Structure 1
Amino acid sequence: MFTDYHVHTEFSDDSSYLMEEVIKDAINMKMDEICFTDHVDYGIKRDWNDAQGMLYRKGGPGEPEKMPLANVNYPKYFEKIEFLRNKYPEIIIKQGMEFGMQVHTIDQYQQLFNKYPFDFIILSCHQVEDKEFWTQDFQRGRTQKEYNERYYQEILDIIKVYKDYSVLGHLDLIIRYDNQGVYPFEKLKPIIKKILEIVIKDGKGIEVNTSSHRYGLKDSQPSKDILKLYKELGGKIITIGSDSHKKEHLGTYIEETKALLKELGFESYCTFDKMKPIYHEL
């Protein structure tokens, strides 16, 4: 089975990849299933229908000079997915979102989840204290030890409370933006272990995010150390996604990731339907 479970479209504020074009490209790639996971980042962004929602930020590397700060237009999003499901029955289309959560935004995400029908939710941590990683605002003024531990503490505090998600997205995301290099896994292992134990106890999972290749990381994301620990603890729910924002990202390194998971001893990966995992043999 060929599927991509982390895909962004024009409904994400950092992508202009039209949802219908994604579907056409996926069909041409002979993909069996795809899940849209467009961004919602409460705290730093307003909702699509907020009268003051059209705020902008300076574009980062590879982005337009000016980027809107707004979340998914929810009614149009679900309407478009339903339209595409009817138009392209040859591919399975699932409706998900990527919740870029922080502790102080949990209630907003709970309200959103309760309002709409989801197949799949990626719980990611893109900011802490409304400070971005990619700009170094979060890291600034902290030692490497401090910002790494603070990042994982935020995730731990979130999942102790919030349970309506499917997988944790790119769990060691902070590595992507760590100018000091990779902080030793052994120093973070105790808190990562606590996170994974809660994930497993709650019947949730983690994703392998193949964008590690295009970001030039020397390891998978999450790292092989985290994947091994997850397996040792009894974790079985794993999804694979490209984190695509444009055509050249879609479906990349999916098969290579399956091979990696098999090499690490995993027997299956998952797709989701109505928030329930479906297992597929590697």
Structure 2
Amino acid sequence: MFCDYHVHSRYSDDSCYPMEDCVKDAIDMGMDEICFCDHVDYGVKLDPMDLEEEMRANTVLNVDYPRYFAQLSALQEAYRGQITIRKGLEFGMQTHTIAAFERLQKQWPLDFVILSIHQVNDQQFHLREFQKGKSEEQYYKAYYEELLAVIQQYKGYSVLGHLDLMKRYDDKDGYDGFVHHQDLITEILRQVIADGKGIELNTSSVRYGLDSLLPDERILRLYRELGGTILTIGSDSHAPAHLGTGIEEQKKMLKTIGFTHFCTFERMRPIFQPL
């Protein structure tokens, strides 16, 4: 079964990929299932419906939920029998924004939620705001501590996205986040497993030029050793060239670690598929 469970469309602020084009491309690639997970980042972005039309063009926005879910429903009907389309979102969560996400989740029907930490204290990693003035030890530790604090309070997600994301925005060389923070990572994984949640294998590590998987293969092995079984695979695509990349290749790697299944989701429930 060929699926991509981390796909962004133009409803994300950082993508211009039309949703229907993405569906057509996935069908052409022979995909069986696709899940859209466009970005929501309360604390650093605003909802379109909270702004006047003329103010939206110059503001970094979350998903336009009415249009997003309406188009997803329309595409599900239009391409029924050709591909399964799931309704997801990627929640860029912080401890102080949990309540906003809980309110959002009550309003819209979701099959799948990726929980990611993209910023702490409303300081964004990709802009290097959070890392400024901190050592690698400090900002890696703070990232993992925020992630742990979030999942200790919030249980509405499906999987953790790109678990060791900080290495994508690490400008220094030679720092091994797994070695230095293995205790925190282990605590996070134990919490994930205890809550019946999962993690994702994000295949974007190749296009970002990282020297390890996302998350690191050692994290994947530790997750399995601790008893973790819920695992999704996604390209984190934002453009046609990204869609589906690396997914089939990484399935082979997962088998070498000892995984036998990956997951798709429907109405927030995992469905185990053989690798």
> TM-score over 0.5 for the alignment?
yes
Task: Give, in whole Å, the separation in 2 of the partners of 1:204 and 1:148.
Answer: 23
Letter in 1 for 2:87: Q
Q: Cα distance, 1:182 vs. partner?
A: 5.0
Contact 1:175 1:181 in 2 (8 A): no
Q: Which residue number in structure 1 is paired with residue 206 of structure 2?
A: 213
2:112 matched to which residue of 1?
120
Equivalent position of 1:131 in the other structure: 123
- Report the equivalent of 1:179: 171
Residue 247 of structure 1 is matched in structure 2 by 240
Partner of 1:199: 192
Q: Distance in 2 between matches of 1:115 and 1:198?
A: 27
Report the residue type matching 2:100 in the other structure. Q
Counterpart Cα distance in 2 of 1:41 and 1:135: 14
Match of residue 94, structure 1, among 82, 86, 89: 86
Equivalent position SS for 1:104? helix
Q: Does 1:146 align with 2:138?
A: yes
Q: List structure 1 runs of 4+ shifted beyond 3 angstroms.
A: none
Secondary structure of residue in 1 paired with 2:99: helix
Q: Which runs of 5+ in 2 are unaligned?
A: none
| Cα deviation digits, residues 129-177 of structure 1 (max 9, x gap) | 1111122111111111000000000000000000000000000000001
- Match for 2:266 among 243, 266, 273? 273
- In the alignment, which residue of structure 2 is the partner of 1:9? 9
2:57 is equivalent to residue 70 of structure 1? no
Residue in 2 aligned with 1:256? Answer: 249
| Separation of aligned partners in 2, 1:190 and 1:163 | 22
Once residues 161 and 97 of structure 1 are traced to their aligned partners in structure 2, the CA distance between those partners, rounded to angstroms, is 19
Sequence identity percentage: 54
Q: CA deviation at 1:48?
A: 1.1
Q: Which sits farther off after the overlay, 183-192 or 69-78?
A: 183-192
Helix, strand or coil at the partner of 1:207: strand
Pair 1:166 & 2:158 matched:
yes
CA–CA distance in 2 between the matches of 1:81 and 1:135?
31
Tell me the TM-score normalised to structure 2 length. Answer: 0.96
* Superposition TM-score, scaled by structure 1 size: 0.94
Q: In 1, distance between residues paired with 2:77 and 2:172? A: 49
Structure 1, 128-137 or 209-218: larger mean CA deviation: 128-137
Distance 1:121 1:240 in 2: 13
* AA matched with 1:88: Y
After superposition, what is the alpha-carbon deviation per residue over 1:53-85, rounded to whole angstroms, capped at 9, x for unaligned? Answer: 6374xxxxxxxxxxx400001011111011001
Q: Which runs of 5+ in 1 are unaligned?
A: 57-67
The residue type paired with residue 56 of structure 2 is: M
SS in 2 for 1:71: coil
Q: Which amino acid aligns with 1:244?
A: S
Q: Secondary structure at the match of 2:48?
A: coil
Q: Using the alignment, how far apart are the partners of 1:231 and 1:134 within structure 2?
A: 30
Give 1:79's match in structure 2, choosing from 70, 80, 100.
70
Aligned twin of 2:46: 46
Structure 1 pair 135–182 and aligned structure 2 pair: CA distance change class (3 A): farther
For the aligned residues, what is the CA RMSD? Answer: 1.1
Q: Is the 8 A contact 1:175 1:182 kept in 2?
A: no
Give the structure 2 partner of residue 29 of structure 1: 29
Distance 1:38 1:29 in 2: 21
Letter in 1 for 2:60: L
Q: How much has 1:10 moved relative to structure 2?
A: 0.9
Report the 3-state secondary structure (helix = DSSP H, G, I; strand = E; otherwise coil) of the residue aligned with 1:263: helix
Matched residue type, 1:83: A
Report deviation, 1:271: 0.3
Aligned residues: 271
**Distance across 1 between alignment mates of 2:270 and 2:63:** 24
SS of 2:181's partner is helix
Structure 1 segment 222-233 matched on structure 2, within 5 A: 222-233=215-226
Question: What one-letter code is carried by the residue in structure 2 that aligns with 1:230?
Answer: Y
**Partner AA of 2:65 in structure 1:** Y
